[in-house]
A and B are shown apart, each in its own frame.
Chain A
Amino acid sequence: MAEQNRSQPLTALGDLRVLELCDEKGQYMGKLLADMGADVIKVEPPGGDAARRVGPFLDDTPGPERSLSFWYHNTSKRAITLDLERPEGQRLFKELARRADILLESQPPGYLDRLGLGYDDLSALNPRLIMTSLTPFGQTGPYRDYLASDLTLLALGGVMASCGYSEADFPDAPPIRPDGGHAWYIGCHYGVASTLVALLWRDLTGQGQRLDVSIQEAVSCTTEVALPMWLYNNTVVIRQTGRHAASFITPQTQHPTADGRLLNTFATGRDPASWTRLVEWLASEGMAEDLADPRYGDPLVRMGAATHQEPYHVAEVLGRFIARHTAEELFQGGQTRGLPWSIVRFPEETLADEHFRDRGFFVEVHHPEAGRALTYPGEPYRFSATPWRLRRRAPLVGEDNEAVLGGELGLSAAELDRLRSRGII
């Protein structure tokens, strides 16, 4: 188990050694643990994992040390190479598993068992081991061996059925897969949360265990009201442009601004105070139309699109006001009046956000090989005692072979050379 380095700030997970045998499906689990201090050793096949072939690439030049996607999802880890299909690779992996607290893996179901590296084999060596298997459909069941991708899992898990366009706006538009690899994110979020649950149980009892996590099922637990609408009202929600899928056509919440942007106005008017300020604001510019009418004072009238026409009218009046102002004016003006308004921003625009700079969100990561530092998104949570910390750029292929296989497992330089020349590392 890794020693807590006393010169470093406290970490939440600094006592943990984690082995990660994951491709792009599961690599984010390792990042979440590594950035909180766990010693995560990524085990890749010689030459590197397939996730290194996912773009975008530095200077648009593909290569195992140039994938920006790989860089982002593998920070703070170490990396070794091992050919697990050969006996020497398997033996070394078992040595590592003997010393590990957690094994994260996203291999096809049954693959590690066939290599003699399944949970039964490894837990016999290390009963404290927590082994988390994250796969598209789980370890058993009729779809266990189905082929899958981010797209097909967002389809089968129900996300795509809710994301897309109103039929009236764009007839025949398909259901949409939000870009960015969210099936993997959702799977990894559940994978990490449940691994930590198992860790807390081990803290109490010393007992390890096996976790079987299905990405499809995780996605299917992430569709908000769509499932209860079916269970309780036998209703299936319908897709609507830029807003919640619902059982009926709801008012627009995405409005064009004077400077060609879009403003999101979801939940406008929910509380009386911000509604009053909104109407005053519109009135001060002579644009409130009839919204000062007392009937709009009732939130069930102004918000109740299922039973009232007023919400559609409110959205139209808002749309006319928004069309006369810039996005920034509306964002600041709305928020200072207690309205949850926001500009529909592109990811790169967040880099200039002063509030998130105040919070120190973006961090600089040094890439010696590229001769420069790059700005990365930083902490998703701010811990007062054990801060999140991006300790190192993603590892190079086999970068830590000597430290781990030599330094820790005691292989000599000659043995490492021999393994290298035989393609085992």
Chain B
Amino acid sequence: MPTPLPLAHVRVVDFTWVIAGPQATRILADFGAETVRVEYHSNLDTIRNTGPFVEQAPGVNRSGFFNNMNRAKRSITLNVHHPDAFRLLKQLIALSDVVIENYSSRVMEDWGLGYEELRRIKPDIIYLSLSGFGHFGRHRDYITWGPTAQALSGLTAMSGLPGLPPAGWGYSYMDHTAGFYGAIAVLMALHHRNRTGQGQWIDMSQAQVGMALTGSAILDYVANGRPYKRPGNPPGNRLTDRPAAPHGAYPCRDGEWCAIAVFTDDQWRGLRHAMGEPAWTQEPRFASLSQRCAHQDELDELVGAWTRHQDATELMQRLQAAGVPAGRVQVSRMRAEEDPQLAHRGYLVETDHPEIGRWRVEAEPALLSATPSRIERAAPVLGEANGYVYQELLGLPDEDYARLVDEAAV
């Protein structure tokens, strides 16, 4: 018998799109929450139309990006301009535990579905709003994408080499991360509801979540008067919070890179040994950790001149055997096809999609002994759950459902 899915008793009405909201509902759905995406043809989640597509042929059910973010969820279509739309939505909400949306901050209110109305429909509803700036405050109407939130919160400026423009984040980190907090918040609220029967509204701002990840920098400024914006910052791959040298990404054969992090004298001895004890390592300027930190530029040059001729994977293995923290810089291909640890963990699992077939998606990185996550379906074909939701759950008679289809309500 399969293990139980721990959130199988939770139903989520999912108005989310792009990444931040879908990341939140992805975690809930992966652990079994029945997650119903509410969509419509004329106003689709932009990720349905964002590549990569299977065989590079676009189509609303063909995006691999969408498949990875929305697996294990269901989809209904609903035309909010049809006069029956909100009656149907409210019926669904009345049967649900959680409502999640990441629209800009006035959409749900304009629809007459603010928290006060939601709780009239379902008194213990848990409502998560996840917008760029939150639903109140003077800039509530300002909007963000992941990179906007990263720039605003300080995270972009904290990534890069000193003296150069920020490298920032090469993807929407704050979409993933706001989604993590969204899932965490909903799960906390469900626990509170289990104890008290009380639902609530959780208002999130994506930019604000980013600011919560800059605590050490803020405290350094507040307590010591030291701004993050100062010569030498951002520190590239070096550390400012403790001594470490060498510490960075070093070039290897075939354009690859390997990260090496040396914190102690033992690890330095291990690195020297792995390099074959070259004479320069005996020089006084590298004799102690503080000396190595003071001469990091020269040290990086010398270490890099050696790593340049090494295979990155063999280098990592050799350094690990010598007691040195090291890890190759892995592009997606290496993580998907070559990394024995990720493979051992079951990092990727296969799903079967009715239109695009069998494809791998990321599994959950937490293994639960009694109630592990199980991804039982691929991302939903647009509207695949209309019959289930409108007829089975809401109990619409055949003729009413046929009329809704005729009138393009669904």
Q: Which residues of A contact B (CB under 8 A)?
A: 10, 12-13, 15, 32, 36, 53-56, 58-60, 68-69, 71-73, 119, 132, 137-138, 140-144, 146-149, 151-158, 160-165, 170, 172-182, 185-186, 189-194, 196-201, 203-204, 207-214, 216-218, 220-237, 239-245, 253-254, 262, 264, 266-267, 270, 335, 338, 340-351, 354-356, 358-359, 361, 370, 374-386
Contacts and interface: CB of A to CB of B under 8 A. Distances in A.
Given A211-B366, A384-B200, A189 B333 contact: no
Contact of B147 (A154, A155, A162, A244): A244
Given A151-B247, A163-B159, A355-B139, A380 B212 contact: yes
Interface stretch (B179-187, B287-295, B390-398): B179-187
A36 B188 contact: yes
Contacts, number: 522
12 contacts: A158-B331, A176-B161, A177-B159, A178-B169, A186-B177, A197-B6, A197-B187, A229-B64, A237-B332, A343-B151, A375-B222, A383-B201
A149 B223 contact: no
Interface in B187-217: 187-192, 194-196, 198-205, 207-209, 211-217
Contacts of A203: 191, 194-195
Nearest to A176: B167
B158 interface: yes
Given A228-B68, A335-B139, A347-B154, A220 B347 contact: yes
A228 B191 CA distance: 34
Contacts of B367: 138, 211-213
Contact of B137 (A204, A227, A231, A359): A359
Q: Chain A CB within 10 Å — which of B143, B153, B335 has the most?
A: B335
A341 B184 contact: no
Interface stretch (B52-60, B73-81, B87-95, B272-280): B52-60
A59 B226 CA distance: 10
B242 A142 contact: no
A386 B215 contact: no
B155 A180 contact: yes
Given A199-B191, A228-B52, A264-B148, A220 B340 contact: no
Contacts of A158: 330-332, 335
A342 B152 contact: yes
Contacts of A73: 215
B341 A141 contact: yes
A346 B191 contact: no
Interface stretch (B368-376, B381-389, B399-407): B368-376
B61 interface: no
Contacts of B27: 193, 197
B124 to A, nearest CB: 11
B67 to A, nearest CB: 7
Contact of A147 (B54, B247, B323, B336): B323
Given A262-B166, A344-B166, A346-B154, A384 B327 contact: no
Q: Chain B CB within 10 Å — which of A160, A204, A213, A236 has the most?
A: A160
B316 to A, nearest CB: 8
A345 B239 CA distance: 21
B21 interface: no
A109 to B, nearest CB: 12
Given A175-B329, A209-B368, A213-B365, A12 B68 contact: no
B259 A151 contact: yes
A216 B343 CA distance: 12
Given A214-B365, A226-B331, A198 B242 contact: no
Given A56-B219, A343-B151, A385-B192, A359 B6 contact: no
A180 B259 contact: no
Interface string B2-30: 00101101100000000100000001000
B123 interface: no
A160 B138 contact: no
Nearest to B46: A270
Q: Chain A CB within 10 Å — which of B158, B168, B217 has the most?
A: B168
Given A266-B148, A342-B148, 5 more contacts: A138-B367, A213-B365, A229-B52, A242-B168, A380-B204
B158 A217 contact: no
Nearest to B194: A203
Contact of B145 (A138, A143, A157, A267): A267
